């Protein structure tokens, strides 16, 4: 296959070029390539490296009334994504043992429309499962520093977290943390959005990030902080990197688009943990090196009601991440390629992913950037087609998404990713 005449966007720059593909891989990129094969006319289109969403909850097996792999991965493909890494909760059983890992892997093999990897969980009592899970192919581990909201996935006490980090460092793997200090969280005083916001203050995130960074320095464990929401938390991560600590962080579109002042208007659809923050925090999120969806869906019923204490905390949004960023015109195209693909592939050791060049997998998003629209419920492909982002502006119409040279969405063509670390 030869894709001709498109505008190729990578983290390194933008060029008018052809892309030649043989089998699963890109074999050449350049102007007027002298290659034979099926030709695809990409005139007027942009070609991005396929997006990588390293933070989704597809909930299969066990909670497929909330989301399932077929719907979730189809939504990703529609938004220009070619692989994902699924979190170890909210599926049942949670992915904290090899047997649970195998159950989820079997489900992915049956239903995934794009390439996939798996995070495993670190919880009290499963330290001896860490090495077998790495051997089976886990990309890394996820831990909560506070209650997760799911009884079967308890948060880690300090002893478990420290011992887990020691072992994960020995295994040359990586630990992801949900960073909120439980000592600084409290039960909401009432049912309102403001009560919920006050119950999860910014200080809880900042304190937990500082603690995790300290443990990473002491243990040598590679650390990644998920869904950073505070400017100070982002600054702590950058300062640690400058001191030589192996730590990174991500944020999500909802922390880039909304503030605490929006939550009352948005209602239950906007409830998530950590919650939306201040305008200064929101602005700071645009400078983080990775943006993922944290697609954490549920049924619509669980997101409705006037009492925020009873509403499920999670936001659906994996289909629209790139198009939301493109519509804001805050970042250049190469930066969007970097934060939604290249930087993620490099951080998590996804060999062959995240770039457009010879030797890389032929994972490509062909998109018409001249098209602008808004998010409508009827266009969403996930199992429960609603989102806090409904009616937000988006830019870019997906023309084609290729996973290793084949159209995304074909069953039995997706592949299992393991880390190359």
pTM of the model as a whole = 0.97
- For residue 421, pLDDT over 60 is answered with no
Residue 132, SS3? helix
CA distance 22 to 6: 18
Phi and psi dihedrals of 193, rounded to 5? Answer: -60, -40
Residue 296, SS3? coil
CA distance 71 to 31: 37
- Reduced to 3 DSSP states, what percent helix, strand and coil does the chain have, rounded to the nearest 5? 35, 25, 45
pLDDT digits (tens, 9 = 90+) for 300-346: 999 999 999 999 999 999 999 999 999 998 999 999 999 999 999 99
User: Across residues 168-179, what is the average pLDDT?
Assistant: 98
Residue 196, SS3? helix
Alpha carbon of 99 to those of 87, 95, 118, 260, 418: distances in Å? Answer: 16, 8, 13, 41, 17
- For residue 25, pLDDT over 80 is answered with yes
- For residue 396, pLDDT over 90 is answered with yes
Q: What is the pLDDT at residue 220? A: 98
User: Across residues 387-412, what is the average pLDDT?
Assistant: 91
pLDDT digits (tens, 9 = 90+) for 115-150: 999 999 999 999 999 999 999 999 999 999 999 999
Alpha carbon of 330 to those of 122, 283, 285: distances in Å? Answer: 36, 10, 12
Contact present, 205 and 226 (Cβ < 8 Å) = no
Tokens of 362: 């032929």
CA distance 112 to 128: 29
pLDDT digits (tens, 9 = 90+) for 244-255: 999 999 999 999
CA distance 391 to 372: 12
What is the pLDDT of the chain when averaged over all its residues? Answer: 97
- For residue 417, pLDDT over 70 is answered with yes
- For residue 356, pLDDT over 90 is answered with yes
Alpha carbon of 91 to those of 69, 122, 297: distances in Å? Answer: 11, 15, 11
Tokens of 208: 């937990």
User: Across residues 78-103, what is the average pLDDT?
Assistant: 98
pLDDT digits (tens, 9 = 90+) for 248-303: 999 999 999 999 999 999 999 999 999 999 999 999 999 999 999 999 999 999 99
Contact present, 417 and 52 (Cβ < 8 Å) = no
Q: What is the pLDDT at residue 411? A: 54
CA distance 325 to 337: 11
């Amino acid at each position: 296959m030869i894709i001709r005449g498109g505008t190729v966007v990578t983290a390194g720059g933008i060029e008018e070029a052809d892309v030649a593909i043989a089998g699963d891989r890109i074999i050449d990129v350049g102007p007027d390539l002298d290659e034979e094969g099926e030709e695809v006319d990409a005139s007027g289109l942009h070609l991005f490296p396929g997006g990588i969403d390293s933070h989704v909850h597809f909930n299969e097996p066990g909670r497929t009334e909330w989301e399932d792999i077929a719907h979730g991965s189809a939504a990703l493909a529609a938004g220009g994504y070619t692989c994902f890494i699924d979190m170890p909760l909210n599926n049942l059983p949670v992915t904290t043992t090899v047997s649970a890992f195998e159950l989820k892997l079997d489900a992915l093999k049956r239903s995934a429309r794009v390439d996939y990897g798996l995070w495993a969980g670190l919880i009290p009592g499963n330290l001896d499962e860490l090495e077998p899970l790495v051997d089976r192919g886990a990309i890394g581990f996820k831990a909560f520093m506070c209650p997760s909201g799911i009884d079967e996935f308890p948060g880690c006490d300090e002893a478990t977290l420290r011992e887990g980090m020691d072992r994960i460092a020995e295994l040359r793997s990586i630990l992801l943390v949900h960073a909120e200090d439980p000592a600084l969280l409290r039960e909401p005083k009432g049912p309102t959005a403001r009560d919920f916001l006050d119950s999860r203050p910014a200080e809880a995130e900042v304190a937990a990030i500082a603690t995790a960074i300290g443990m990473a320095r002491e243990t040598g464990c590679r650390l990644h902080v998920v869904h950073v929401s505070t400017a100070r938390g982002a600054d702590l991560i950058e300062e640690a990197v400058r001191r030589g600590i192996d730590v990174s962080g991500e944020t999500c579109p909802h922390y880039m688009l909304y503030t605490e002042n929006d939550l009352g208007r948005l209602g239950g659809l906007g409830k998530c943990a950590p919650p939306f923050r201040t305008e200064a925090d929101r602005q700071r999120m645009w400078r983080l090196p990775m943006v993922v969806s944290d697609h954490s869906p549920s049924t619509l019923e669980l997101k409705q009601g006037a009492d925020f204490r009873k509403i499920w905390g999670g936001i659906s949004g994996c289909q629209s991440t790139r198009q939301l960023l493109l519509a804001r015109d805050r970042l250049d195209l190469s930066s969007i390629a970097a934060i939604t693909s290249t930087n993620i592939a490099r951080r998590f050791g996804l060999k062959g992913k995240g770039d457009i060049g010879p030797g890389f997998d032929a994972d490509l998003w062909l998109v018409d950037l001249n098209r602008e629209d808004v998010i409508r419920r009827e266009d969403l492909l996930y199992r429960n087609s609603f989102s806090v982002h409904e009616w937000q502006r988006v830019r870019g119409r997906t023309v084609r998404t290729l996973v290793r040279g084949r159209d995304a969405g074909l069953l039995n063509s997706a592949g299992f990713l393991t880390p190359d670390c």
